[in-house]
Structure 1
Amino acid sequence: MARDINQRLQQLRTRRDGTGGTVNEGFTLDSLFAKSALPVELWESRGKADQPHTRYALGSMQAVSDTYTKVSKETAFRVANQLKDRLAKRGIVAEFELQGSVPLDVHIKGVSDVDLLTLASELFSYDVKGFKALHGKYCNPAKRTALEVLIELRGHVETDLADAFSAAKVDKTGAKAVKISGGSLARDVDVVPAVWFDTAQYQLTGLASDRGTKILDKKASKTIENQPFRHIELIGARCDKIGGGLRKAIRLCKNIKADSDRNITLPSFDIASTMYHADMKALRLGSFYELSILAETQRHLDYLACNHGVAKTLYVPDGSRLIFDTNEKLRSLNDLSRDMDELLDAVYAEHTPAYLAQYLMSDKRQAISKLAA
């Protein structure tokens, strides 16, 4: 974490309002938002003048403005509309869905890139152990494999994006996504070719959130099964039950990672999955005492960092894999935990005139969890 709190606050503002020069060429905040002055957000006026760490902690939890998020989604669907028409001319019927941090509302950048699933409707695959499969409900086998369809779709996506947005940059080097940026696009969009995958759970429920996808790993020339909508549904539902505290904890961790002087490489998906296992009763207190979210986030990360054996037993929300499946992820967990320790300690000091460094972290957490700021 950058040690200078004023620098951290400026970095936080820059991420949230997009003034750091990351808006694509041809777009400015003035052109996007009718030349109105950038508003001062509520979190910037919270806490006293001598409590910048408190302000940073609170700001890091907040959702990005709906205005910025709307632009991100609209840009993705603009790309989708171009692809839909061009693929249709090739005889390919495509469906489009958003995945990742933006639809889950845990993105931390005002100018945030967007993941756009581009699903070929020609075929879908399914779990052969599912109810419908075992009862012979899938009786028309596809003429081609998912890998064949995805390789073809990937090639068309690369060509059609370049044709549709001639002034934009199309990066074809990604294993799973084709990134398009610049030109007339207000946001970067990662286009992910995919086909549907009917999971065993989806075969029972028919719920959209239970349906999976298969995407292409171009470099390995293989398909990968994902459940992006299940991830969004599980985290979103758990968060909604406790008044929003889980999303705030995830955003807090992601902002800490973004500002860290340490090399934290833990992906956003795994950060969200980690906080999914936190104490929801403690995060629920954030509806009344928002700094209790900082207290529980620090406690949870500290516990896992001190107990790698426990950390290595935790699964991502959909149960498809372990979260901490590499030593590098465990190292990043330790670094994220240290940064969170430092932030909690600094916030505690701002609210405690008789601050003593030797006080136990558990005592500091308890004090912070009951602060109104």
Structure 2
Amino acid sequence: MASDIDSRLLQLRARRKGDPSVGTFSEAALAYNRQFAADALQVEDWETRGTSSQRWTRYAIGAMQAVGKKYTEVSEQTGERVASQLRDRLIKAGINAEFKLQGSVPLDVHIKRVSDVDVLAITKDFFTYDPTGAQALQGAYKYPTQRTSGGVLSSLRLQIESDLDDAFPAAKVDKTGAKAVKVSGGSLPRSVDVVPAHWYDTKEYQASGRQADRTVTIYNKQTGETIDNLPFLHIERVGSRCDNIGGGLRKAIRLCKNVKADSDRDIQLSSYDIAAIMYHANMNALLLGRYSDLAVLAETQRHLDALYQDPGAAGRLWVPDGSRIIFDAPEKHDWLRGLSIEMDQLLKNVFQENFPSIDSSIPSQGVQRECIKALTV
């Protein structure tokens, strides 16, 4: 963890206040820039919490707060705008598609005001299914085809790349990504990653009809492989668990993501993995986040430390959608260690600020946690 708290606060503010990244001089873009500049001058609530000398405490509290609703709405609207442009152009090319947001923005665990938006472009003209599912056994799928997932998604990607060039001539269209085509700049206030996909009807989906149980198959341009994901089940399970405890889980996830972003250590845990790790924290402890933000810090530090100290237990944890274990690569344990050490130091710094008369090297981390989690700052 960088020792200069002033630098860390500047970095946190920069993420939360951001850069409009608008590249044209249209009236709409200029108006957006003016509004953006005015908003950036506003002081957020966390910036006034505690005393002026409690800067680590302010950082910890600020790092777990949600990005402002209206900025999240801009991200969502930008994704919808790109989707609308693609939808009409794909129809002209003979492709019927639907579009869904995935990732940190719809889950509300993004940490940047100007967050990239992930949009799934899902063809409705092709899908696969589990032949052992109830609907398949009842003969509901009656349309055999010689087309393949790889062939369909490769063609869909090429069409999306071409259509984005046409739809946003002033923007940059990056076609080098393995799974997504990124469009940014021009009149777009957010970067948008468009991921070509098709549906895979799982056994669970055939029984429930719920979108959360439906898999999306995506394409890796660099390898030609297809990958099955359950993004909506991940969002549903993490979101539901968080809603049941009044928001503490999302706070813990954002805290970890911000600490990772400000760390000098090699911590390459993805946002998805961080959400999965904190999904297994003690929800009763995170429930206290309704009353004290610092209780979230206390439980986050405890949970990360416990997993690092017990790699066997960590190795048995699965991601929320049940598709794989979280720590499926050896290096992830090293990254967990780095994040845990960062959180240890943050806990210590916050304790020192709030209990300056006590030598922080004397009480254990457990005592430090108990002391700070009851604080209302």
**TM bin (shorter chain):** over 0.9
Matched, 1:16 2:16: yes
Would the aligned equivalents of 1:162 and 1:170 in 2 still touch at CA under 8 Å?
yes
Letter in 2 for 1:7: S
Structure 2 counterpart of 1:51, from 21, 46, 54 = 54
Which residue of structure 1 lines up, in the alignment, with residue 35 of structure 2? 33
Q: Distance in 2 between matches of 1:341 and 1:140?
A: 57
Distance 1:141 1:198, change over 3 A: same
Distance 1:136 1:86, change over 3 A: same
Q: Distance in 2 between matches of 1:358 and 1:364?
A: 10
Matches within 5 A, 1:45-124: 45-124=48-127
Deviation (angstroms), 1:329: 1.0
Would the aligned equivalents of 2:20 and 2:33 in 1 still touch at CA under 8 Å?
no
Letter in 2 for 1:5: I
Which residue of structure 1 lines up, in the alignment, with residue 375 of structure 2? 371
Q: Distance in 2 between matches of 1:175 and 1:251?
A: 26
Matched, 1:316 2:314: no
Matched, 1:5 2:8: no
Matched, 1:197 2:195: no
Which residue of structure 2 lines up, in the alignment, with residue 177 of structure 1? 180
Would the aligned equivalents of 1:30 and 1:36 in 2 still touch at CA under 8 Å?
no
Q: Distance in 2 between matches of 1:113 and 1:316?
A: 23
Provide the secondary structure at the position in 2 that maps to 1:92: coil
Which residue of structure 1 lines up, in the alignment, with residue 163 of structure 2? 160
Distance 1:145 1:371, change over 3 A: same
Letter in 2 for 1:369: K
Matched, 1:339 2:342: yes
RMSD: 1.4
Structure 2 counterpart of 1:359, from 363, 373, 376 = 363
Letter in 1 for 2:23: E
How many residue pairs get aligned? The number is 371
Q: Distance in 2 between matches of 1:56 and 1:332?
A: 22
Q: Distance in 2 between matches of 1:258 and 1:201?
A: 37
Cα offsets for 1:156-189 (capped at 9, x unmatched): 0111111111111111111100111111111110
Deviation (angstroms), 1:308: 1.1
Distance 1:326 1:22, change over 3 A: farther
User: Which ranges in structure 1 are unaligned for 5 or more consecutive residues?
Assistant: none
Structure 2 counterpart of 1:136, from 114, 135, 139 = 139
Structure 2 counterpart of 1:251, from 236, 254, 258 = 254
Provide the secondary structure at the position in 1 that maps to 2:38: coil
Q: Distance in 1 between matches of 2:369 and 2:144?
A: 58
Deviation (angstroms), 1:219: 1.2
Would the aligned equivalents of 1:132 and 1:204 in 2 still touch at CA under 8 Å?
yes
Q: Distance in 2 between matches of 1:158 and 1:34?
A: 30
Deviation (angstroms), 1:22: 6.1
Cα offsets for 1:249-280 (capped at 9, x unmatched): 00000000000011110000000000000000
Distance 1:29 1:361, change over 3 A: farther
Would the aligned equivalents of 1:179 and 1:190 in 2 still touch at CA under 8 Å?
yes
User: Which ranges in structure 2 are unaligned for 5 or more consecutive residues?
Assistant: none
Q: Distance in 1 between matches of 2:261 and 2:31?
A: 22
Would the aligned equivalents of 1:170 and 1:181 in 2 still touch at CA under 8 Å?
yes
Letter in 1 for 2:300: T
Cα offsets for 1:300-356 (capped at 9, x unmatched): 000011111111111100110111111111111000000000000000111113222
Q: Distance in 2 between matches of 1:39 and 1:70?
A: 18
Letter in 2 for 1:321: R
Q: Distance in 1 between matches of 2:206 and 2:54?
A: 53
